[in-house]
Structure formats: C-alpha cells, structure tokens
Amino acid sequence: MGIRILITGGTFDKEYNELTGELFFKDTHLSEMLILGRCRVKVDVRTLMMIDSLDMTDEDRVMIADHCNKSNEKKIIITHGTDTMADTAKFLAARIKDKTVVLTGAMIPYKFGSSDGLFNLGSAMAFVQSLQPGVYVAMNGKCFNWDNVRKNKKTGEFEEVDGR
Amino acid sequence: MGIRILITGGTFDKEYNELTGELFFKDTHLSEMLILGRCRVKVDVRTLMMIDSLDMTDEDRVMIADHCNKSNEKKIIITHGTDTMADTAKFLAARIKDKTVVLTGAMIPYKFGSSDGLFNLGSAMAFVQSLQPGVYVAMNGKCFNWDNVRKNKKTGEFEEVDGR
Amino acid sequence: MGIRILITGGTFDKEYNELTGELFFKDTHLSEMLILGRCRVKVDVRTLMMIDSLDMTDEDRVMIADHCNKSNEKKIIITHGTDTMADTAKFLAARIKDKTVVLTGAMIPYKFGSSDGLFNLGSAMAFVQSLQPGVYVAMNGKCFNWDNVRKNKKTGEFEEVDGR
Amino acid sequence: MGIRILITGGTFDKEYNELTGELFFKDTHLSEMLILGRCRVKVDVRTLMMIDSLDMTDEDRVMIADHCNKSNEKKIIITHGTDTMADTAKFLAARIKDKTVVLTGAMIPYKFGSSDGLFNLGSAMAFVQSLQPGVYVAMNGKCFNWDNVRKNKKTGEFEEVDGR
C-alpha cells in the first residue's frame, strides 16, 4: 500500500509571473520534487486545490477531510500553506481516524532555488511511514502533534504551544 | 537531547575543482543544508573523515562505531557514500546497541544543484527521530533495516535483498 | 579605466520575504553575480536606489544622469527595472554626451534561480566595452539604441519601435 | 542574418554520471541557456563534437575552420573547453577571413548551478554582434584578440600575453 499525497497549494507551489511581477499558482511541482529526491516509495498524487492557505475555507477543509477518509491509503501527506496549516490539522484531527496524516509546506517556493520544500517533503515522507495514526505537522525538521503546534508569525517557525 | 550527525564524506559533499576538472572534498555542506531546510532540531555535527566510501577501511568503520558508542546522543545520522553504505550499516549493527543510527547520502553532490541530498537529509532527520533503536539506511524516500538492504549498481537505487 | 556600474533596483535585485510572502529589496546581488561570472574587468559598483522602475520619478532620473556625468569612467552600466527602462534611456540620452551607457535588467529575480539576469549582465558588460558613446538598452541578447526601443508588455520582450 | 553557434564540448556541457561518479558529455545545454537568457537573437546551433579540449586534434580544428568558412553567417560563436581555447583561436585566425568568430566556454559545468557559463554566453553573444571581423576569446567578462591571449593555469583566468 502506497502513500496518498494531496496538493492544496501554499508557498510550496507558488511561481513568479514575469509579466506582472506577481506570485501565482500554475501546476504543482510535487512530482518533479519526488524525481529529484529519487523517491521510490509508491505514491498517488492528487491536486485538490491550488490556493493560498489564508484563502482556505471550512468547505475546502471538509473536502480535504472527505478525500482523506475515502482514500484507500492509510498514510497521507498534505501539502499546505503555512499560515493556516495548524488550523487545518486541528480540523482534520476531529474528522479522521485510523490514518496517519502529515501536513507539510514551505517558507520559500520550490521554484525559487533556496527553498526548504525538498527538505520538508523528505521529512514528511519519512514521518508518514514511521508514525502511528494521527494528524501531524512536519516542518523545521520536526514533527508536531495536531493539538500542540502553531506557527510563530515573527520567526516563521513552527513551535509547540506554550505551557506544554 | 539532540541528534548527533557524523560526516564521513561521499558524493553528498563532493565539489568540482575548476582548475583540474576533478571532483574533490573540501568542507561538508551539512550545516548549510540544515539552514536551507530551516531545521530547528538540536544537532551536533562532527566531521570524522571526508572520503569516498570505496576507500573506507574497517579501521575507519571502527572509528565510526566508537564515536557512535561514545556519543551522548541516542539518535545519530551518518552521511556516507552510497557504494559501501550497506556494508557500513552491517558493520555498525554488530557493534552498536540501544541507539538509533540512520545512514544517508546522495547520488548527486549537493553543490551541483540537482541533488537528492536535501530530500535524503530531510527523511534521515525524520526517521532518526521516529524509529526504535537499530541501524538503518535512509535512501530513495525509504528506510531499510541494516540486514535487508543493498545498492543496485545498475539503477543506483537501494532495495531490499531478494527473497525477503 | 574601468566600468562604473550603477544600481537602481528592478526585478534583478528583488527577493522573497518569507514572513510576508511579498517581494522586496534588500541588497544588490551585482557583486555576487560578477564573482559567479568570474568577471575580471575592473568595476566600481554604486547603489543609487533600490526601487521598482514603475516608482522611478524624473528626480530619480536626474540623479542618475548626474552620477553618469560626474563619473570618471567613460563606460557605465545601469541596472534598472524593465517597465520604464526605455523611458530612462531616452531621458539619459538627452543629458549625457561622450559616454557609453548600457541599461540592463531582468525578467526574473536573480535569487529565483531561473533568472535571465546573469546572461543580461554578461551581454551588458560586453556591449559597454565594445560600443561607441551613446545610450543603449541590452536585453534579450540584443542591444537597442535609446531612440528605437520599447518593452512589449504582452511578451515581456524588448523590440525595436514599429516603422523603423 | 543571424548568428551561427558551433558546439565543441568543454566544461560548459559536462554532466555528472551518478552511477559512475564521473563527468561525461551527453547533449549540449546551449539552447536551454538561450531560453533562460530570453535571447531573441536569431541563432543556428550546430554540434560539431562533444569533447574535452585537451583531446582536440588538428583534424578537429580543420573541421571547425571548414564549418566557419562554409557558414552563411558572418558572425559565429564557438563553445570550447578552456584548456586549448587560445590554441584553437590561433589556428582559426590563420584560416578564417571576413568573419567575426568568438570562442567562449566555462570553468564550471552549466548543470552544476554555480557556473560562469551563462554570463560568458551573454558576453560572447554581445561581442560577436559588436566586433569587427577577427577571431576572439570571450572569457572573464573580457574580449581577447586571438594573438594576445592565454589561460593562466594557476588562476584559471584568461589574460593577455606578457610584454604586450
């Protein structure tokens, strides 16, 4: 049984439009990244949406949860913008049982050369294979449980919630 | 308690000498890669040697085993050339107990832009945190036990040994 | 006598702010690019401003013209945003005599990996050494006279003005 | 009338064979580089050979001279290994009249990310369009006449011959 990878957009997949000077979404770079990483794990990649995570609605999250629940695979990676990644993790944890779900993303677009995306994808791929069922966030080389993670807006890093 | 990272060389850290046109070792790029990956796991990086793994002797492997055994950390990543990575894994498994040791490397030098190294480092970082004590090889997005792994010289990929 | 290089900003030098997801200016990458190109021409690099060329005013252009006229060097490269590069060329042509001035820029930021900036800088460096006094735009591997160039907004390419 | 580009190999086009760990030639990256540079000059690219310039024989040089002489284009760029680039320039200068021929190359393979190749190609493209008929070497941001250039083996840089 392989791994299901669900694409939702986020910085990970943003590109630079040289005519307008703006960032935009075209296609996901996930398959290209797996080839670069010479990944030989069996995967099934599906693009659910290509959006900035600040624009993600609860309807979007319901759709993601549905896809996770209907997926044959027990192990699922979700690429996601970092701004609401922790929110989506909480949302999914309330709706998904008996599956290992790992959300990951990037601070810099993969196409910009200096991205953390390939490192994060490598760690997400490893955590999803190793961990017990549950919903996790894989960022900064760490794995966080859904109920103990937030993005520090000042540093751009993920951290455990204070007091735990 | 953080993670000990031991550098031994391998393709991972090779560079191009523009005066001679040959590949050579200078310094490790490990710290640069962890910064690129925005890794916030506590690590202690030590360079033990900078050699092609085809040149690694059993004396070298004894030194690596000694470092692992004397390390305070219970979790250890070893960067290593791919040609004899499986041999070193077997060698270490016979000498190290109660520690999680993950060997990883790259097919393309990190400095060459199209390297699998960052992906592999991300996965090694995740596996070493998740897995029970033992000696493992993390390549191609997979984790192999020391007693069931070999490099396929034709494809350049790691695989389980036939018949298992 | 070397070459004076004046920095004004433009896409060339834009960077990605990973905390806000916006593009911004920090320092110029010009010196880094000359090192990458192993350029051994004597240059003197000065940053005049770091702005989007759509924000460039005639006061800014007066300052650029003054710098060109006061410069000891007879050969000057100006890095500039592409949107108003042709306008600035015309402005400078009316104010600078007896110097070879070459404006260049990029469609993609240098830091984004897939930039045309290094190619353009190489061609600007060559044109400024080869051409007679005058004001030129070096983009798309071509050199345009100040009075016969415009940016085609649809294609993002520079072209001669129709009818010539 | 466009520009003829003749490919002969050299560091420019070397790639890394991840199975053997050796450098080798496959296809030229010239067209890919012109696309990256958004070059809109009309060019006709021909691969004559893909060899290390230390392996280039006088028979090879005769073939290159023949191609230059038979080419309809008056302006020709030749990509070439750096070790014998100055020798080939001298050889061609004795056999080609009334054409502008610019030899260029790279110290680092284009595919290795940190290459000077794109900068050199940009400068060669500009020099070939600007200069009078003759044979030149375009390296290090400079243009050298065929009778006053050599590669300094210690620094890897091109320089004028002493005493001139």
* Residue of chain B whose alpha carbon sits nearest to that of A130: B130
% of chain C beyond a pLDDT of 70: 99
**Which residues, including other chains, have CB under 8 Å from residue D9's CB and lie 6 or more apart?**
D25, D49, D50, D51, D52, D53, D79, D80, D81
**Residues of chain D with C-beta less than 8 angstroms from the C-beta of C107:** 38
Distances (CA, A) of C19 to A57, A106, A107, A156: 22, 11, 8, 6
CB distance from A16 to chain C under 8 Å?
A: yes
CB distance from D124 to chain C under 8 Å?
A: yes
Cβ contact, residue pair A112, C16, below 8 Å: yes
Q: Which residue has the tokens 């009778």?
A: D147
In tens, the pLDDT along A86-101 reads 999 999 999 999 999 9
> What's the token pair of residue A20?
């307008």
Neighbors of chain A by Cβ distance (3+ pairs < 8 Å): B, C
Q: Does pTM surpass 0.90?
A: yes
The shortest C-alpha distance from B104 to chain D (Å) reads: 16
| Contact between D3 and C141 (Cβ < 8 Å) | no
CB distance from A153 to chain C under 8 Å?
A: yes
In tens, the pLDDT along C59-99 reads 999 999 999 999 999 999 999 999 999 999 999 999 999 99
Q: For chains C and D, what is the number of CB pairs under 8 angstroms?
A: 118
Output DSSP code: residue B141.
T
Q: Give yes or no for residue A163 having a pLDDT over 70.
A: no
pLDDT at D114: 86
Neighbors of chain B by Cβ distance (3+ pairs < 8 Å): A, D
* Residue of chain A whose alpha carbon sits nearest to that of B33: A119
In tens, the pLDDT along A44-77 reads 999 999 999 999 999 999 999 999 999 999 999 9
pLDDT at A1: 77
Residue B23: other Cβ atoms inside 10 A: 17
- Give which of A34, A119, A158 to mutate to test B binding, by max B Cβ within 10 Å: A119
pLDDT at A113: 84
Vertex D83, ends D81 and D86: CA angle to 5°? 90
Residues 23 to 42 of D: which have CB under 8 A from any B CB?
23
Q: Give yes or no for residue D138 having a pLDDT over 80.
A: yes
Kindly provide the residue ranges of all beta strands, DSSP E only, lying in chain B, ordered along the sequence: 3-9, 14-17, 22-25, 43-51, 75-79, 100-104, 134-139, 142-145, 150-152, 157-159
**Gap between the Cα atoms of C90 and C106, Å rounded:** 19
In tens, the pLDDT along D99-128 reads 999 999 999 999 998 899 999 999 999 999
